Amino acid sequence: MKRFRSLAVLLAIGVAACKSTTEPDPLTVELNKVQFATSEEFQAWPSKPVIKAGQTLEIRGTGFVGCGTLTADASLSKDTISVRIQTKGDYSPCPLSRWPWEPFIAVVHAVPPGVYTVKVKTAGYDNEVTATVEIH
Please, is 84 exposed, middle or buried when counting C-beta atoms within 10 Å of its C-beta (0-12, 13-18, 19+)?
middle
Q: How far apart are CA 115 and CA 102, in angstroms?
A: 29
- Tens of each residue's pLDDT in the chain, 136 residues: 455 444 444 444 444 444 456 799 999 999 999 999 998 998 999 999 999 999 999 999 999 988 888 999 999 999 999 999 999 986 666 666 567 889 999 999 999 999 999 999 999 999 999 999 999 9
- Predicted pLDDT at 10: 41
Given this model, what pLDDT does residue 96 score? 61
Alpha-carbon gap, residue 128 to 123, rounded angstroms: 10
| pLDDT value, residue 92 | 65
Describe the strand order of the beta sheet including 69-77 as a list of residue ranges. 50-53, 57-64, 101-109, 25-33, 69-77, 80-88, 114-122, 129-135
Cα–Cα distance between 2 and 126 in angstroms, integer?
Answer: 57
Q: What is the pTM of this model?
A: 0.80
pLDDT for the residue 97: 55
pLDDT at 12: 43
C-alpha 81/C-alpha 76 separation (Å) is 5
Residue 7: the pLDDT is 40
Q: What pLDDT shows up at residue 119? A: 98
- Taking a C-beta distance cutoff of 8 angstroms, is the pair 68, 87 a contact? yes
